[in-house]
Structure 1
């Protein structure tokens, strides 16, 4: 557990360093990759020194413009998945389905297969770290 805690702290530290660096990217794809890295880093870390949700919201605010400008692609599916994991907005799911359906299922790359599996995992398990009493 000490090793997990140390590694989790390192993910949080590196994610926050990227956020604080002010790096945004010069192309839409670079911007999308930065946002994706930030969302994934914050999602993977259970640490929060009080600014995490503010940072996530600011990244999400940037994502809305980026998603509108980003062509249908593997990167867009990954960013849609990360955004959905934060806000659970159904239009993000619809757009992800359109991208997946546009791909030839017989010739999917390993990266596409992994992104599709992650997309469906987030859709089917929107609250993976919470127990819901029924």
Structure 2
């Protein structure tokens, strides 16, 4: 199962880079296009591996689901079945989330699921876990998730209707 775990972590890394443009440097359109294609390709590859995978732990499956949600969210391309794949991942997330202990991984998965469906229960559960974190010693990943969830809640585009 190492290949699915390794691909999952690589997809998270690449998708994170596209979603947050970490170096804060301008990105040329050809580089952006190439990276989007690479992330979509890796997402589809991981999706196929995941579908063919036998038994994996809830944590491994949560990592794969998180990676796929991040990867598909980060890409501008759609081969025609991207939304169906996202829905299948979300359907699996509902089962996986029940089996995960309160952890950063669970908060990350809850947050990315919330970003897809805007179900307030998901955000509330993520907040309940984050409320248990020590605010004076947050890890960078914890701080990032607090900011990400807040940003999604404050800016729920594309689900908000703009009044004219």
What TM-score does the superposition give when structure 1 sets the normalisation length? 0.92
Relative to structure 1, the CA distance from residue 76 to residue 24 in structure 2 (aligned partners, 3 Å threshold; closer, same or farther) is farther
- Residues 84 and 92 of structure 1 are in contact (CA less than 8 Å); yes or no, is this contact kept in structure 2? yes
Q: Give the whole-Å Cα distance in 2 for the aligned partners of 1:132 and 1:7.
A: 31
Q: Does 1:77 align with 2:77?
A: no
Q: Does 1:121 align with 2:151?
A: yes
1:20-51 deviation digits (Å, cap 9, x = unpaired): 12347611111100000000000000100111
Match of 1:30 among 55, 60, 66: 60
Q: Which runs of 5+ in 2 are unaligned?
A: 1-28
Task: Kindly state the Cα deviation for residue 118 of structure 1 after the two structures are TM-superposed.
Answer: 1.2
Tell me the SS of whatever aligns to 2:162: coil
Q: Give the whole-Å Cα distance in 1 for the aligned partners of 2:90 and 2:114.
A: 10
Q: Which runs of 5+ in 1 are unaligned?
A: none
User: Which shifted more, 113-122 or 11-20?
Assistant: 113-122
Q: Give the whole-Å Cα distance in 1 for the aligned partners of 2:131 and 2:63.
A: 23
Relative to structure 1, the CA distance from residue 133 to residue 123 in structure 2 (aligned partners, 3 Å threshold; closer, same or farther) is closer
What TM-score does the superposition give when structure 2 sets the normalisation length? 0.76
Match of 1:3 among 31, 35, 39: 31
Tell me the SS of whatever aligns to 1:26: coil
Q: Give the whole-Å Cα distance in 1 for the aligned partners of 2:127 and 2:60.
A: 23
Q: Any runs of at least 4 consecutive aligned residues in structure 1 with deviations exceeding 3 A, and if so which?
A: 130-133
Task: Kindly state the Cα deviation for residue 133 of structure 1 after the two structures are TM-superposed.
Answer: 3.4
What residue in structure 1 maps to residue 137 of structure 2?
Answer: 107
